[in-house]
Amino acid sequence: MRFTKDHEWVVVEGDVATVGITAYAAEQLGDVVFVEVPEAGKTVKQGDGLAVVESVKAASDVYAPVSGEVVEGNAELSDSPETVNALPESGGWFAKIKLANPAEVDALMDRDAYEAFLATL
């Protein structure tokens, strides 16, 4: 699993990256009540808005940690947005993106680097 400073995570299988937000991000957001995930076919560049997650308190953007074409959004989050809090780094994934540039993944932080980054916040 790789991480961004915006608290997204990425897991790569083959040429497809599954993307979500970290447990830290989910904890900071609080109770998630609405999630808007992208539809298949949407093309995103690294850093583009990918999804929107809303807690009781506020709306937050989820940015694409990698460039590529969305092959699937997690439709289950529409009915069960609380999954983002319950399983942020597994079942609460937001989208699967077919990688346009696999090298982008290598430049992201590994778990140790992300933990070290969190310690500075």
Partner 1 sequence: MSDQDLKKTPLYDAHVAAGARMVPFAGYSMPVQYKDGVLKEHLWTREHAGLFDVSHMGQARIRGANGETSPAKAFEKVVSADYQGLKPGKQRYGVLLNAEGGIVDDLMTARPDDDGLFVVVNGACKDNDYAIIARELAGEATVTRLEDRALLALQGPEAAAVLAAHIPEAAQMVFMDARALTAFGVDVIVSRSGYTGEDGYEISAPAGAAERVWNTLLADARVRPIGLGARDSLRLEAGLPLYGHDLDETVSPIEAGLNFAVGKSRREAGDYLGADRIAKELAGELTRVRVNLKVLEGAPAREGAEIADESGAIIGRVTSGGFAPSLGYPIAIGFAPPAFAGLGTKLKVIVRGKPAAAEVVASPFVPNRYVRKL
Task: Point out which residues bind partner 1 (CB under 8 A).
Answer: 30-31, 33-34, 36, 52, 54-59
Cβ at position 51, least distance to partner 1 in Å: 11
Cβ at position 35, least distance to partner 1 in Å: 9
Q: Which is nearer to partner 1, 30 or 102 (CB)?
A: 30
Q: Which is nearer to partner 1, 81 or 104 (CB)?
A: 81
Q: Which is nearer to partner 1, 18 or 83 (CB)?
A: 83
Contact, 62 vs 8, CB < 8 A? Answer: yes
Cβ at position 33, least distance to partner 1 in Å: 4
In this structure, the strands spanning 43-44 and 49-55 are unpaired
Distance between CA atoms of 115 and 69, rounded to whole angstroms? 29
Which strand ranges, in their side-by-side order, compose the sheet holding 95-99? Answer: 2-3, 8-13, 16-21, 95-99, 68-73, 43-44
